[in-house]
């Protein structure tokens, strides 16, 4: 029995989802059919590609070696399809973007909605995770990150800078003594990240203030900002999030300001895909424009 390309696609889906049910949702197959296809592919290759455990399907050593070749074949197939069909005025298919939840909550909805309006046959998926997106496992086609990765065969493009300031609810500021210096912060509760869950050093904002204790913490930016809006504490907030939370006010703007950056990260091989190139260009331009627009409102 010769290996079939369709079985390679099943292998890739199971490798990325680590389960038959997850792969089935992507492939629009029932899990039992996915399992039979995996078994058929393993029989054709005369090797086991997965190790089953209570946590799901993990790649075996052979499966891990095959993964890079399968992804290269997938890219070649996509490039071939694009070469045959020629460029289209609009994009189609499915594209998945991974992003930290601050960007995913406050920037990407507007940007992706605009891209979707211009490309009605395109399905855009936003994966909002408070951790690094694993592109090697194809958790996403591309990712927005807050630092530029240095390992792996990746295309890394700086999108734009963004800014952060200390902020608090106007109701809270109304009821406390004026906060005039950074030393005054020690008299207030602080909202921030759970220290041992900060997945990128660029997110360790409070260390710049010498703050060690975080009385109210979350690994989610949106949760932190909602706690700030409730009052009773101070925290560091993205300027682009402030227009969505009118009760929040910047404080100590001259004494404390942070500049961070968004980067677009893609597989190096994806540069052969005109479809992904066009989407990446539209996404980057949209993020730059939206950050500038929202920060201008503050």
Q: Are 298 and 178 in contact (CB under 8 A)?
A: no
Any alpha helices (H) in 119-220, and if so which ranges? Answer: 170-175
Q: What is the pLDDT of residues 139-189, one digit of tens each?
A: 788 999 999 887 777 889 999 999 999 999 999 999 999 999 999 998 899
Which secondary-structure segment (H or E) carries 43?
Answer: helix 31-45
Span 57-71, average pLDDT: 88
Tell me the Cα Rg of the chain. 23
Calculate the average pLDDT of the chain.
88
Q: Which of 77-81, 197-201, 283-287 has the lowest average pLDDT?
A: 77-81
> For residue 125, what are its two tokens?
């998926």
Encode pLDDT of 177-220 as tens digits: 999 999 999 889 999 999 888 888 888 988 878 888 899 999 99
Residue 83: its pLDDT value, please? 62
The percentage of residues in the chain with a pLDDT greater than 90, rounded to a whole number, is 57
Which residue has 């694009």 as its token pair? 82
Closest to 243 measured CA to CA, from 112, 106, 111, 103 = 106
Q: What stretches of 100-189 show up as alpha helix (H) in DSSP?
A: 101-106, 108-118, 170-175
152: left (phi over 0), alpha (psi -120 to 50) or beta: left
Q: How confident is the model at residue 86 (pLDDT cuts 50, 70, 90)?
A: low
Is 6 or 191 the better-scoring residue by pLDDT? 191
Span of 132-141, 155-164, 219-228 with lowest mean pLDDT: 132-141
Provide mean pLDDT across the span 89-98. Answer: 83
> Are residues 222 and 144 in contact, defined by beta-carbon separation less than 8 angstroms?
no
For 26-50, the pLDDT digits (tens) are: 888 999 999 999 999 999 999 999 9
pLDDT tier at 94, thresholds 50, 70, 90: confident
Can you list the domains of the chain with their CATH numbers?
5-85 (1.10.10.10), 93-155+261-296 (3.40.190.10), 161-260 (3.40.190.290)
Whole-number pLDDT of residue 99? 94
Q: φ, ψ for residue 204 (rounded to 5)?
A: -85, 70
The contacts of residue 204 (CB under 8 Å, 6+ apart) are 193, 198
Q: Distance of CA 252 to CAs 71, 170, 233, 242, Å?
A: 50, 14, 15, 15
Residue among 99, 141, 89, 117 at smallest CA distance from 287: 99
> pLDDT higher for 261 or 273?
261
Confidence band for 132, pLDDT divided at 50, 70 and 90? low
Q: Is 102 exposed, middle or buried, given 0-12, 13-18 or 19+ CB atoms closer than 10 A? A: buried
Q: What is the pLDDT of residues 18-30, one digit of tens each?
A: 899 988 988 889 9
Instruction: Give the burial class of 298: count Cβ atoms within 10 A of its Cβ; 0-12 exposed, 13-18 middle, 19 or more buried.
Output: middle
Q: How far apart are CA 252 and CA 268, in angstroms?
A: 42
If one compares 168 and 55, the residue with the highest pLDDT of the two is: 168
Q: Is the pLDDT of residue 127 over 70?
A: yes
- 3 state SS of 191: strand
């Amino acid at each position: 029995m010769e290996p079939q390309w369709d079985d390679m696609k099943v292998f890739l889906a199971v490798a990325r989802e680590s389960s038959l049910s997850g792969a089935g949702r992507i492939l629009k197959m029932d899990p039992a059919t996915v399992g039979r296809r995996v078994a058929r592919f393993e029989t054709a290759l005369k090797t086991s590609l997965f190790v089953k455990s209570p946590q799901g399907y993990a790649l075996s050593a052979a499966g891990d070696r095959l993964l890079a070749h399968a992804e290269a074949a997938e890219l070649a197939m996509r490039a071939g399809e694009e070469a045959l069909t020629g460029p289209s005025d609009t994009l189609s298919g499915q594209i998945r973007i991974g992003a930290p939840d601050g960007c995913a909550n406050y920037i990407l909805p507007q940007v992706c909605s605009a891209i979707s309006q211009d490309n009605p046959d395109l399905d855009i998926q936003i994966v909002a995770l408070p951790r690094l997106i694993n592109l090697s496992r194809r958790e996403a086609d591309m990712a927005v990150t807050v630092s530029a990765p240095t390992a792996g065969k990746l295309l890394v493009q700086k999108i734009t800078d963004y800014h952060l300031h200390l902020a608090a609810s106007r109701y809270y500021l109304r009821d406390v003594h004026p906060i005039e210096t950074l030393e005054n912060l020690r008299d207030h509760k602080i909202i921030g990240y759970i220290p041992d869950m900060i997945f990128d050093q660029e997110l360790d904002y409070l260390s710049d203030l010498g703050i060690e204790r975080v009385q109210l913490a979350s690994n989610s930016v949106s949760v932190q900002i909602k706690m700030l809006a409730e009052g009773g504490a101070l925290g560091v907030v993205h300027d682009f999030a402030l227009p969505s939370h009118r009760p929040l006010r910047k404080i100590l703007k001259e004494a404390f300001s942070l500049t961070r950056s968004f980067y677009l990260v893609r597989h190096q091989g994806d540069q052969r895909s005109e479809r992904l190139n066009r989407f990446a260009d539209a996404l980057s331009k949209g993020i730059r424009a939206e950050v500038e627009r929202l920060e201008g409102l503050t």
